[in-house]
Structures are given as structure tokens and as C-alpha cells.
Structure 1
Amino acid sequence: MRQNVSSGSPWEDVVGYSRAVRVGQVIHVAGTTATVNGQVIGEGDAPEQTRVILAIIERALRDAGATLGDVVRTRLYVTDISRWEEIGRVHGEVFGAVRPAATMVQVAALIDPRHLVEIEAEAVVD
């Protein structure tokens, strides 16, 4: 059984994706940026963008029947890897006890030049 979770973003229909997809016990959360109601939050502030992103991911997981504690993997895409520690610290604040497998890589650009961070997550519910 498949459950698609929408965040209400107009881009979901245009691009043809879901914020999250649950199939059985596995939930995949799409690449998520700090965009709320079409506005980029935390412009120039990578830690703030990371906090906003993780809150959006948490809502998507909740809508799919999971919690941040169910996350087994995250992927962080950043536009400036020299900021890895400040971004990583926020990730650690949220996932410190959970300790999912995580990857952080620098990318040339994200969809909006104001985006500094994009995060994907995968969760498994018991």
C-alpha cells in the first residue's frame, strides 16, 4: 500500500512529486528546502535553514505515521561545505540520540540561489 504525503507546495503538481511517500514501513522524504508558503526562510543563515527544513521533514513524517526517531538516513546537500560544522550541529541537535546514517555533500547550486541547504530523509516504522 502506498501513501503520498503532500506539503501543499504548488511545485508538487508541476514537477510531479510528493513531500513524502510511505510504502509499507518505509517512508522516503523528498529533498526539502527552507521554503514556506513560497518564501525562503533564513536567507543567508545555514543553521536556521537547517532548523526549518528539519521541522518540515518532521511534519511530513508525522503525516505519514512516523517520528524523527524513526529516521534511519539523511542526506544533506549544501552549497558551501565550509559551513559543514554549523549545519551539522543543528542536525546533531535534532538527531543526536537517533544517530541516523548521514551524508553531507557540497553541490554547485540548489533550485533557488538563496537555498543553502537541502535535506532528504528516510524512515522505517516498526
Structure 2
Amino acid sequence: MSDALDDGPFFHGTKAALRVGDLLTAGFRSNYRPDVVMNHIYFTALRDGAGLAAELACGDGEPRVYRVEPTGDFENDPNVTDKKFPGNPTRSYRSTEPLRIVEEIDDWQRRTPEALQSWRNRLDALDRSGNAEIIN
């Protein structure tokens, strides 16, 4: 588990309809920047953080949050750990190994349309400034 000091449970947010036992793997396009193919699969120990990720993901599907189990080693997500926030307050992680879907979670906090637009505006501003680089 390298230097990631978290026992979970862990969650992944997406607009993909998945089933228990399915594996999420690296090597696919980013949920947020479809021009980027991801070398890692990202997840968090914060249920509502995964919900926000699902709501902000590209695509027309319904936002979904899944409880997942890492199948191998994982590390703190360098996109937010220490680079942007001291420690890992977002409890965000990444792995090159698959994540197994354990169950779909229904009780996560959904944002208002106004709150989601505010998040999208912030992400767009970061992307235009060049500060939203994905460390992959």
C-alpha cells in the first residue's frame, strides 16, 4: 500500500453503469479531460468527494458512486497531496492496479445546479491558466 495511510472504505465516482465485481482499470480516457488517457485509476475515502467527481465527469449518464476495493498497491494522489494541500485532506488516492466494484452507493450528497456550475467554472479557469495539469 506504499505510503497511503488509509484503510477506507474507498469510493469512485463516474457516470458509467457498472456491476458488482467489475474492475476499473487504468488506460482509459479521463472522466474530465477526454483527450488524456489515464495511467492510473483514481479513488477517494470520501463518499461525497466521489459524488462530486461523478457529477463533474463528462458524459450524459447518471452520476454514480461505487464502493471499491483496491486490488494492489496505491498511493496518495499527487494532484492534491502536498502539491495543493498539506497532507491528504481529500483522502484521494491512485493506483495502476484495478479497483473492484463492491457495491453502488446511493446516499451521497448531490450538489445543486448552481453549485455544480460554480465547480465547473473553477475547473475551467484552472484549465485556462494551465494549473489544472493532470499528473498521470
> What TM-score, normalized by structure 2, do the two folds share?
0.27
Please identify which structure carries the higher helix content.
1
> What TM-score, normalized by structure 1, do the two folds share?
0.28
Please identify which structure carries the higher strand content.
1
